[in-house]
Amino acid sequence: MSEGPNTVQNEPLNILMLVDSLGIGGTETHVLAIAKVLQKKGHNVIIGTGGGPMASRYKDAGLEVFLMPFQSDNPLYTNYTALLDQTRKLVRERQIQLIHAHQIAGLKVAAQIWQELLVPLVFTIHGMFYPRRRLQSLIDSCAHVIAVSPPAAAWAKKQLGLPASQISVIPNGIDISHFKPGTASSFKNELGMDEKQPLITLCSRIAWGKTRVIEDAIYAVEELHQAEGVHLAIVGSGPDSPFVHALANMVNQRQGYDIIHLTGAMLDPVDAYRAADIVIGTARVALEAMSTCTPVIAAGNSGYFGPVTPSNFSRGWEVYFGDHDFLTLPSKSQLQHDITAMLHGRIRAEQDVLRRLVAAHFRIETVAGAVEELYHQVMAGEIRPRVTNVKAVPTLPQATPSPAPSPEAKKEAAPATPPAQIEASSPLVSVVIPTYNRANLLNECLKSVFEQTYRPLEVIVIDDHSTDDTETVVASWAKKAEETDGLTFHYHRLHRNLGFAKAVTMGYLFAQGAFIANHDSDDISHPDRITQQVQFLQLNPDHSLVGTNYEVFSDDVTQRKKAFLVRYDKNIISSYRAGHHCVCFGSLLMRREVIERLGGLTTFLQGAEDYEFVSRAIVQGFNVQNLRTPLYYYREHGTQRSKEFYGVRSALTSQAVEGEGA
């Protein structure tokens, strides 16, 4: 749960990282590297996982591994319930403050936990292989999304509709102290090779488009073997392994001895890189190999990039070295040509430069620092998206890069308002509460408003000529307001019943605040609601109205269920253009200028005044956003206005949709 602008940036966090399985792959290696650094920084990192071959490496690193029954990437029924029960228990017992999901089953579980327990959720997009519809239905639960490459970020924006403000590009981190130059003579010996024979190492998952690259490499090495004596080591496993094994056996039988060697997946491939004359790989493999000063030909899931040099390194990053985008399609002839050129033209100094480039931009300490900074921003509700930009060639001649800027230096350079300035500038917020015969519910409403963490507050109750005990209820809260610092209370009883729209408008006219918040008298707000909304508008001067996600309850506010009406970002405008309503009016907080321009609510659309008001604000050019955290609790009961006027809303929506194509 967010703690507002006072979050201490170096405060240790209790973090739950969800990784569905710990197979041998780039995602699992990245999570391990990040978790190790975060743990060294004092954070408590727990790994929730279904287990796998890499679990031992996590435990050896001193990380706590919590086994969970992940059975598929879309857990259902009994399995889903079991996962939720375990995660709830873990979050409560270990006081988890933030969940970071790395695969889609974990995201599904974490999204529900966020809905129930308000634990902020971060998700990392590791590629472009996710089922789009399923991911799209879950992504709105995330406080922020990390993409490991520019193409992955572009995919998320295009396919999922994520705005730039909700996504950061933070790459895979490389442990350059581990992946460093060295010898590995035993690796060739284990393959039965002569030490002088050239070796190409292809490290990859044997699946998807990568299988095409493996096939081309096998045929290219077969043709090069007679002239160059070259061998190929394939490091990896995957669903296409039977095909690759059959192809390798066929080539080896034609040669009469093994020139294609299949090692299977390796927990630590550093010796396979060091022993190689060239590494063929993509994404993380390419970066790890360059860090060992081994020449790299980048080719991967999306296509072919070719030999990586200092001059094209930044271009390689833009396509994630062939994993997420490509320059050309792979072919045996192109691969054969590039292998030959690199075997005869290797320049040691270029490999030193490439290692410095990897260190400058992908060092695990720098990457983990960026992730840690994002965590603190999420906790404070003041996220500033970042994008990793890669320069072509480092200008420093030394082998080690300059240290990364500290979080404090980054904050000083950031365009957003620093937390200290936000805290020092706390403008008055007026909370307008119209009410009519809600005496039995008004106590809970006012209690939640008085318990808001934000100050100063002006609470304005507009009594639309109630005939129950509203005045008595209000009197007790007026007395309490006198004893409450930073809070003023005003009660206005109308001389006759004027209706909801006029009561709200009267409240707007009385309001003195720079910000004006709505609040229905039968609903309840989370204590941090106004703090987070004001903070959002201060950090986003281009927005003027902000609502929040909400949950629905009947009698007991602890028994809430998810609402599906709310939309976010550009989908808000699309929704209203289509005649739909996706901002909970009671949760809305707006700048004073909105009221000054729009006036109050219309009296001509009884039952749909809130829909018309938000639509009018959008037409007038005001930007609207919804916070993804449920900070407003909407009460269902038999006498609420939304049920009374449901037919009006349905008719309006129907007419808007029917007329959309006219």
CATH topology of domain 185-360: Rossmann fold (3.40.50)
Average pLDDT rounded to a whole number, residues 443-457: 96
Q: What would the mean pLDDT of 160-183 be, rounded to a whole number? A: 94
Same fold, 4-173+364-390+406-414 and 185-360: yes
420 has pLDDT over 70:
no
Point out the least confidently predicted range of 209-218, 385-394, 479-488, 502-511.
Answer: 385-394
Distance from CA of residue 120 to its chain's centroid? 10
Task: Find all residues with CB under 8 Å of 70, minimum gap 6, and list them.
Answer: 20, 21, 49, 50, 83, 105, 106
Tokens 């599906």 found at: 564
Reply yes or no on whether the pLDDT at 210 is more than 70: yes
Q: At what angle do helices 364-380 and 348-362 cross, to 10 degrees?
A: 20
- Confidence at residue 649, expressed as pLDDT on a 0 to 100 scale: 44
Model confidence band, residue 539 (pLDDT cutoffs 50, 70, 90): confident
Check residues 99 and 607 and name the one with the higher pLDDT. 99
Whole-number Å distance between alpha carbons of 489 and 474 = 10
pLDDT at 425: 56
User: Average pLDDT for residues 103-119, to the nearest whole number?
Assistant: 95
pLDDT over 90 (residue 388):
no
For 318, the enclosing helix (H) or strand (E) is helix 313-318
Distances (CA, A) of 616 to 597, 608, 619: 10, 12, 5
**Mean pLDDT score of the chain:** 87
Q: Residue 34 corresponds to which tokens in the numbers above? A: 């990040």
**C-alpha span between 172 and 100 (Å, rounded):** 15
Per-residue pLDDT tens digits for 63-96 = 999 999 999 888 988 999 999 999 999 999 999 9
Tens digit of pLDDT for each residue in 609-638?
A: 888 999 999 999 899 999 988 999 999 876
Does position 418 have pLDDT exceeding 50, yes or no?
A: no
**Is residue 399's pLDDT more than 50?**
no
142: three-class secondary structure by DSSP: coil
Q: What integer is the mean pLDDT of 632-649?
A: 63
Q: Which one, of 31, 262, 289, 251, lies nearest residue 148 by Cα?
A: 31
- Position 408 confidence tier, pLDDT thresholds 50, 70, 90: very low
How many other CB atoms are there within 10 angstroms of residue 632's CB atom?
Answer: 27
Tokens (6 digits) for 541: 């001067």
Lowest mean pLDDT among 283-287, 304-308, 396-400, 545-549: 396-400
% helix / strand / coil in the chain, to the nearest 5?
A: 45, 20, 40
Kindly state the average pLDDT of the residues 209-233.
94
Average pLDDT in the 590-600 region? 93
CA atoms of 123 and 536, how far apart (whole Å) = 21
628 secondary structure, DSSP code: E
- 3-class secondary-structure state, position 280: strand
519 in Cβ contact with 525 (< 8 Å):
yes
| Token code pair at residue 519 | 């609040």
CA–CA gap between residue 29 and residue 22 (Å, rounded): 9
Higher pLDDT, 18 or 566: 18
Q: How far apart are CA 319 and CA 296, in angstroms?
A: 15
Count of C-beta atoms within a 10 Å radius of residue 8: 10
Q: What is the pTM of this model?
A: 0.60
- In this prediction, what percent of the chain has a pLDDT beyond 70? 89
Phi/psi at 183 (5° precision): -105, 155
Per-residue confidence (pLDDT) for residue 1, from 0 to 100? 35
H or E stretch at 89: helix 77-93
Straight-line distance from the first to the last Cα atom of the chain, in angstroms, rounded to the nearest whole number? 46
Answer whether residue 402 shows pLDDT above 80: no
The most confident of the ranges 5-9, 479-483, 554-558 is 479-483
**pLDDT of 413:** 33
**Closest C-alpha to 54, from 71, 29, 18:** 29
Q: For residue 465, give the amino acid letter.
A: H
Q: What is the DSSP letter of 320?
A: G
Region 350-363: mean pLDDT is 93
Give the pLDDT confidence of 112-156 residue by residue, as tens digits: 999 999 999 999 999 888 888 889 889 999 999 999 999 999 999
Place domain 426-658 in its CATH homologous superfamily: Spore Coat Polysaccharide Biosynthesis Protein SpsA; Chain A (3.90.550.10)
Average pLDDT of span 172-191: 93
Cα angle at 23 between 289 and 287, to 5 degrees? 15
pLDDT at 401 over 60: no
- The mean per-residue pLDDT over the stretch 402-422 comes to 35
Homologous superfamily, domain 4-173+364-390+406-414: Glycogen Phosphorylase B; (3.40.50.2000)
Domain ranges of the chain: 4-173+364-390+406-414, 185-360, 426-658
Q: Do residues 265 and 273 lie in contact, with contact meaning Cβ atoms separated by under 8 Å?
A: no
Listed as own residue / partner, the contacts of 578-582 with beta carbons closer than 8 Å and 24 or more positions apart are 578/656, 578/657, 578/660, 579/652, 579/653, 579/654, 579/655, 579/656, 579/657, 579/660, 580/653, 580/656, 581/610, 581/611, 581/614, 581/649, 581/653, 582/626
Nearest-5° angle of CA 302, CA 305, CA 308?
Answer: 140
pLDDT of residue 580: 85
Asked if the model's pLDDT at residue 447 lies above 60, the reply is yes
Q: What is the pLDDT of residue 640?
A: 59
